[in-house]
Amino acid sequence: MTERTFSIIKPDATRRNLTGKIIDRLETSGLRIVAQKRMWLSQKQAEGFYAVHKERPFFHDLVKFMTSGPVVVQVLEGANAVAKYREIMGATDPKKANPGTIRKDFAESIEANSVHGSDSAENAAIEIRYFFADTEVVG
């Protein structure tokens, strides 16, 4: 089933000039980038995006990290895009990520883990709407 998911290339990856290497992984896996922009998240945008985690002990540091440099937000499209992208991202903690995954190969830590990916099609739709107008998603 063709579906869409939402992706962020996080500040640790933009800082190390890894956007091209990460995008290559996405495209090589068969996912298509149907929307993309580079931006610097405001504190409000980062807090809103990670609102589900606001009671977690790492929330403050996470917001600080996500606003520490530019990110690349993108919409990925393909067969089972949500699950496929989660698979190529690897586990949240790079120490636990499978070999060959983006987080295993590029992440610095459980916080600075290079990429975000939606965890369900429902959340993907919410996250896509948070960053993109319908006219900016061009399949």
The catalytic site residues sit at 116
Residue 134's alpha-carbon distances to 1, 30, 34, 48, 56, in angstroms, are 21, 23, 11, 20, 32
Q: According to the binding rule CB under 6 A, does residue 119 interact with ligand ATP?
A: yes
Return all residues near 24 (Cβ < 8 A) that are at least 6 apart. none
Return all residues near 83 (Cβ < 8 A) that are at least 6 apart. none
The contact mask relative to Mg ion for 17-46 (x = CB under 5 A, - = no) is ------------------------------
What distance in Å separates the CA atoms of residue 104 and residue 22, rounded to the nearest whole number? Answer: 12
The least CB distance from residue 36 to Mg ion, in Å, is: 20
Instruction: Give 5 or 36: the residue with its C-beta nearer to Mg ion.
Output: 5
What distance in Å separates the CA atoms of residue 31 and residue 33, rounded to the nearest whole number? Answer: 7
Return all residues near 56 (Cβ < 8 A) that are at least 6 apart. 62
Q: Which does 111 bind (CB under 5 to 8 A by kind): ligand ATP, Mg ion, none?
A: ligand ATP
Q: According to the binding rule CB under 6 A, does residue 130 interact with ligand ATP?
A: no
Q: According to the binding rule CB under 6 A, does residue 62 interact with ligand ATP?
A: yes
Q: Which does 103 bind (CB under 5 to 8 A by kind): Mg ion, ligand ATP, none?
A: none
Contact positions toward ligand ATP, by CB under 6 A?
53, 58, 62, 92, 110-111, 113, 116-117, 119
Contact positions toward Mg ion, by CB under 5 A?
119
